[in-house]
Amino acid sequence: MIRLAASETLIPAPNIEYYELSPILIVFGVGVLAVLVEAFLPRAHRLHAQLALCLTGLVAAFVVVCTLTDEAQENARAVPQKVAAEGAVAIDGMTLFLQGTILLLGVVAVLLLAERRLGGEFAASAATVPGSAAEKETTRLGWVQTEIYPLLMFSIGGMLIFPAANDLLLMFVALEVLSLPLYLLCGLARRRRLLSQEAALKYFLLGAFSSAFFLYGIALLYGYAGSVRLSDINAAVSGSEDNDALLLIGMALLAVGLLFKVGAVPFHAWTPDVYQGAPTPVTAFMAAATKVAAFGALLRVFYVGLGGAKWDWHPMFWGVAMVTMLFGSLVALVQTDVKRMLAYSSIAHAGFILVGLVATNAEGLSATMFYLLAYGFSTIAAFAIISLVRDGSGEATHLSQWAGLGRRSPVVAGMFALLLLAFAGIPLTSGFTAKFAVFSASASAGGTPLIVVGVLSSTVAAFFYIRVIVLMFFSAPVTDGPRVAVPSLTTALAVWIGVAVTVFLGVLPQPVLDLADNASFLIS
């Protein structure tokens, strides 16, 4: 207790559950230490120090998450269903599962960012003007951009909080903490810097608009419920029989902010430009981990805070899921750039994940979490392979340049083909298991129309995935075409981890499905 000398009024000291919050604290602590490394360590030693520091921190945070998960299972879902930090952070099954997923994806992303054998994906100095003498000088000196590591750690810290936030103000803070570093990272490409900076600017401006919508929605829901705590909002919704305008408008504005982060239609416009312009390792991390965090926040808000208003938001998500699946699949058909094709593919996958979300039951929650895990690893591996196909100007991302790649580099082309088949949902891959899980959850909740649209969209999507496979293996190689560069150990490890998880979750998915089932509970 804190005593005020003048009035002798007692103020209760906040109770902070440091152990439950330790994964978040570890990641942010590593981010702070990484900043100090940038400030005090000589440039020549920063890269290896940052790499070791970030990997150690992420692994340590994951170990703590595993320990908390074991305690959750041992106590039969009783003890771990609690809130921390004065009720601001929810510690439940979904929080732990998604935090573990984000940390694992973060480890693979750090490995991908550490690539230096290919000349580096990041500008030698972000402050130099593209094409200037200063840029040429820093490139000549061989400067290595290591500021990306603290930025990455702070973004991961925000992602860990985002799906765990039990009140809307903390969720907004987490949204900004995870987004601001990404805006910077998107503009740090070493080649095609103007395109990269344009992508960063677009992402920043559209992200600022979506954050404004989200914040305005918080204000309206506070006016409706008198609280920003999700449980209080749900109590106000459940106790009201009127269609209050504040509730409906606030709910819609929250949905805009969150659907923007997952890249769902009609809030998808930033996705192809940012995916194409950002450095490929950043695109890989953003495409995988941001989706996990954003869908976790969607589940938290609409299952916990607005569960009592299900019949108000449920039809909206039905429509968004259908349009997103169809739009992403159809527009991907006409893409000629591999990164843009995968960008529209990610939009379609956002629709598939929404199919699990609108099931609004434990089976839907479990299927959604499994889908996020499976899609995340496949996506990072796919973008890692894209970074290896290069010509004299850097990455060769035009589809015509991939003709005959399977003849020149059958192993790399084979792995990319496997990942494309996983995205298409072909059996014995993680994509098939994930889609089957979300469709089964939707069927049990009466979502047959969603399944029909999902199957049609998957059929359309299979065409452009298989088109790339045919191009790689059954077309004549391009004269003086791109080569597959030999990566460093870290990039090779990132690719093999992604491919291995894709195969494992397709052949032996049951252990992870059981883990997701055991984690499919939320604090209400």
Residue 80: predicted pLDDT: 46
d(CA 15, CA 90) in angstroms, rounded, equals: 14
pTM for the model stands at 0.93
Q: What are phi and psi of 442, to 5 degrees?
A: -65, -40
Residue 149: predicted pLDDT: 93
Residue 445: predicted pLDDT: 87
Q: Report in angstroms the alpha-carbon separations of 431 from 27, 88, 236, 286.
A: 30, 34, 39, 19
Q: 3: part of which helix (H) or strand (E)? A: strand 2-3
d(CA 79, CA 72) in angstroms, rounded, equals: 7
Residue by residue, DSSP assigns 131-159 as TSHHHHHHHHTT----THHHHHHHHHHHH
Identify the residue whose tokens are 């006016």: 223
Mean pLDDT, 10 residues at a time, over the chain (524 residues)?
56 81 95 92 86 95 90 56 80 91 95 79 69 67 79 95 93 94 88 85 92 94 91 85 81 93 91 91 93 94 88 90 94 91 94 92 92 95 91 80 87 94 93 94 90 93 92 82 84 94 94 90 73
Residue 76: predicted pLDDT: 46
Residue 222: predicted pLDDT: 93
d(CA 91, CA 160) in angstroms, rounded, equals: 11
**Under DSSP, is residue 390 helix (H, G, I), strand (E, B) or coil?**
strand
Residue 70: predicted pLDDT: 78
Domain boundaries, the chain: 18-519
d(CA 300, CA 289) in angstroms, rounded, equals: 17
CA 31 to chain centre: 19
Local structure of residue 397 (DSSP, 8 states): -
d(CA 349, CA 354) in angstroms, rounded, equals: 8
